[in-house]
């Protein structure tokens, strides 16, 4: 991954307009007459600011000769906007486009003030004179470092291609794109006068980024979890501290992008709902096995290194696309409802209430018995109460208890059973996604899956809610990256009726 981007956040608007003899001027400008422009603080921040006064900030104490206007440390202003990372640089952008970039670690020595001659300007006595930008219209925070949770990620099935932040997008050759909005006419003394209206928008052509080729299929995913097929001929548009995808017609858009996947898999873990419904309609019993935190790259590594002898024997898994945000609540809700988070209402770890019917409800409406065997806590509020399990034998895992409970319930003849194993995710968090410890846990889980499939009479669907990627102290997930978003998907026949 190269760069990153943050999308979303609340806007704090502090705007002061002064006209004529109005005295509510920025502190330090005395009682100057006229309009005082505003400037924006945006980019990779949680709270974009629109400022027309520095009255709320403490004076920096910078001594200035023959100058009027209060000076405020740039660090005070940036702190109010809440940068998304500790490491960043700051762009000071003038209304003529002249831009200076200053390292975030040195902005305590930078000052912002207002003067009648230069409007908002930077006074940086300890920096090169070229950093003293006049008539500032924007101050942009540009994050330094990689974290896909902050930005628009471009990925493919087996790799992460690019990570763009709103701050970084300011440093690309943006198109100051004139968009025609319409015409208005008026008749005066027998003559018709027409005015055309345009808006100028900060956009960059998607095809100019270099990662998308002609003929590639593309899917955009918003931070609300919605998924939309898009086109290479569209645009990325800066909208404050977020990025939208704009369709070639310049009207339709996907707001607040989390990412774009190039040539997405043909399968989705949401297919579990639709495939299960299809089998139930044919009066076949269905077992859905959810392997929490089991990404396709982990599946491939385990396959190549001999950790999943049973899964290897039932045929190669399909690559399947998960949902954003790739966490348990959202992934589980999506695969059980067949609907993305934008429709089922479960976006993060916080939500439990599912807004659309699950496959459990579908089975019940068909007059069939449906059960769910879970871990030690309830994750979602579904139509069927899950059967919870605890670590009775104190071996550090509840997966063996989940297996035992599922085998016991299987003998009662349910038509639909959902079994949710947690051990791969637990080990991945502790030791890393492809660590030896996690591979051993995958091997154990493969054995549990073998036991369940061997005892089941009907169809079996095996998939995951999300994957996992490496971090310095183990593993994590929840970002738009291929490790988190691509999971295995398998359909096989249970062996209980053979």
What average pLDDT does range 98-110 have in this prediction?
A: 93
Q: Region 371-395: what's the mean pLDDT?
A: 97
Of 108, 143, 178, the residue that ends a domain is: 143
**Stretch 213-218: mean pLDDT:** 94
Tell me, yes or no, whether 84 lies in a domain.
Answer: yes
Among 58-67, 112-121, 174-183, 453-462, the range with the most confident prediction by mean pLDDT is 453-462
- Residue 329: per-residue pLDDT: 98
- Residue 77, H or E segment: helix 74-81
In this prediction, residue 66 has a pLDDT band, given cuts at 50, 70 and 90, of: low
pLDDT tens, 243-276? 999 999 999 999 999 999 999 999 999 999 999 9
Together in a domain, 139 and 272: no
429 shares its domain with 282: yes
Give the pLDDT of residue 9.
36
pLDDT surpassing 90 at residue 103: yes
Across the chain, what does the average pLDDT equal?
A: 90
Tell me, yes or no, whether 205 lies in a domain.
Answer: no
Same domain, 275 and 410: yes
- Which range has the worst mean pLDDT, 23-27, 88-92, 318-322? 23-27
Supply the CATH number for residue 124's domain: 3.90.420.10
323 and 466 share a domain?
yes
Domain finish residue from 102, 118, 143: 143
Pairing of strands 286-291, 459-463: parallel
Residue 8 has pLDDT above 50, yes or no: no
| 275 shares a domain with 136 | no
- Structure confidence by residue, pLDDT tens digits, 219-228: 999 999 999 9
Q: How is 359-425 classified by DSSP, letter by letter?
A: HHHHHHHTT--EEEE--SS--SB-SS--B----TT-SS-SHHHHHHHHHHHHTT--SEEEEEE-HHH
Q: What's the pLDDT at 76?
A: 95
Query: Domain tally for the chain?
Result: 2
129 assigned to some structural domain: yes
- Give yes or no for residue 21 having a pLDDT over 90: no
Higher pLDDT, 467 or 31: 467
Q: Is pLDDT above 60 for 495?
A: yes
Q: Is residue 157 part of a domain?
A: no
Q: Which of 32-41, 131-140, 437-446 has the lowest mean pLDDT?
A: 32-41
High-pLDDT (> 90) share of the chain, %: 76
Asked whether residue 385 is domain-assigned, the answer is yes
Mean pLDDT of 199-214: 89
End of a domain among 88, 115, 143? 143
Q: What is the pLDDT of residue 498?
A: 52
From the centroid of its chain, how far is CA 262? 16
Residue numbers of the domain that contains 102: 12-143
What DSSP assignment string belongs to 290-326?
Answer: EETT--HHHHHHHHHTTS-HHHHHT-PPEEEE--SS-
At residue 147, the pLDDT reads: 60
Q: Look at the chain and count its residues.
A: 498
In this predicted model, which residue has the larger pLDDT, 86 or 443?
443
pTM recorded for the entire structure: 0.87
By mean pLDDT, which of 207-221, 324-338, 342-356 is the weakest? 207-221
Specify whether the CB–CB gap between 413 and 455 falls below 8 A: no
Report, as an integer, the average pLDDT of 459-478.
Answer: 97
**DSSP class of 429:** H
pLDDT at 24 over 60: no
Q: What is the mean pLDDT of residues 229-241?
A: 93
Tell me, yes or no, whether 281 and 430 share the same domain.
yes
**Residue 218 within any structural domain of the chain:** no
Among 133, 71, 76, 78, which residue's Cα sits nearest to residue 101? Answer: 133
In a domain, 177, yes or no: no
Q: For residue 14, is pLDDT > 60?
A: no
Dihedral, CA of residue 51, residue 54, residue 56 and residue 62, to nearest 10: 150
Q: Return the CATH number at 375.
A: 3.40.720.10
Q: Does 53 fall in a domain?
A: yes
Is the confidence at residue 12, as pLDDT, over 70?
A: no
């Amino acid at each position: 991954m190269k760069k990153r981007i943050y999308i979303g956040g609340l806007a704090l608007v502090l705007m002061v307009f002064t006209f004529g003899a109005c005295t509510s001027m920025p502190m330090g400008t005395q009682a100057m007459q006229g309009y005082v422009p505003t400037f924006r603080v945006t980019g990779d921040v949680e709270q974009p600011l629109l400022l027309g006064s520095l009255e709320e900030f403490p004076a920096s104490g910078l001594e200035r000769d023959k100058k009027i206007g209060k000076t405020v440390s740039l660090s005070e202003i940036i702190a109010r906007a809440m940068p998304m990372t500790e490491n960043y640089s700051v762009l000071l952008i003038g209304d003529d486009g002249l831009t200076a970039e200053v390292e975030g670690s040195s902005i305590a020595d930078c000052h912002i003030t207002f003067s009648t001659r230069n409007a908002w300007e930077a006074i940086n006595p300890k920096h090169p004179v070229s950093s003293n930008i006049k008539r500032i219209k924007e101050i942009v925070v540009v994050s330094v470092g990689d974290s896909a949770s902050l930005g628009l990620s471009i990925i493919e099935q087996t790799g992460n291609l690019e990570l763009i932040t709103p701050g970084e997008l300011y440093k690309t050759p943006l198109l100051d794109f004139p968009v025609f909005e319409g015409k208005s006419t008026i008749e005066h003394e027998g003559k018709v006068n027409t005015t055309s209206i345009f808006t100028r928008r900060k956009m960059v052509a998607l095809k100019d980024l270099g990662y998308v080729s002609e003929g590639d299929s593309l899917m955009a995913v918003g931070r609300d979890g919605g998924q939309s097929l898009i086109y290479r001929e569209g645009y990325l548009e800066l909208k404050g501290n977020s990025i939208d995808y704009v369709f070639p017609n310049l009207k339709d858009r996907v707001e607040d992008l989390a990412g774009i996947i190039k040539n997405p898999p043909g399968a989705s873990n949401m297919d579990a709902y639709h495939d299960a419904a299809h089998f139930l309609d044919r009066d076949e019993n269905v077992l859905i096995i959810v392997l929490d935190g089991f990404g396709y790259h982990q599946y491939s590594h385990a396959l190549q290194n001999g950790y999943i002898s049973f899964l290897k024997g039932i045929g190669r898994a399909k690559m399947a696309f998960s949902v954003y945000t790739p966490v348990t609540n959202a992934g589980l809700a999506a695969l059980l409802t067949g609907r993305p988070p934008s429709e089922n209402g479960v976006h993060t770890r916080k939500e439990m209430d599912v807004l659309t019917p699950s496959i459990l409800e579908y089975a019940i409406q068909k007059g069939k018995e449906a059960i769910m065997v879970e871990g030690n806590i309830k994750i979602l509020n579904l139509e069927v109460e899950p059967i919870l399990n605890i670590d009775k034998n104190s071996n550090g895992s509840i997966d063996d208890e989940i297996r035992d409970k599922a085998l016991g319930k299987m003998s009662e003849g349910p038509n639909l059973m959902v079994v949710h194993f947690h051990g791969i995710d637990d080990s991945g968090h502790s030791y890393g996604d492809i660590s030896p410890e996690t591979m051993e846990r995958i091997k154990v889980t493969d054995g549990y899956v073998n036991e369940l499939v061997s005892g089941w009479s009907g169809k079996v669907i095996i998939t995951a809610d999300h994957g996992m990627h490496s971090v310095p102290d183990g593993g994590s997930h929840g970002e738009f990256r291929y490790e988190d978003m691509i999971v295995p998907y398998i359909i096989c026949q249970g062996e209980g009726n053979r």
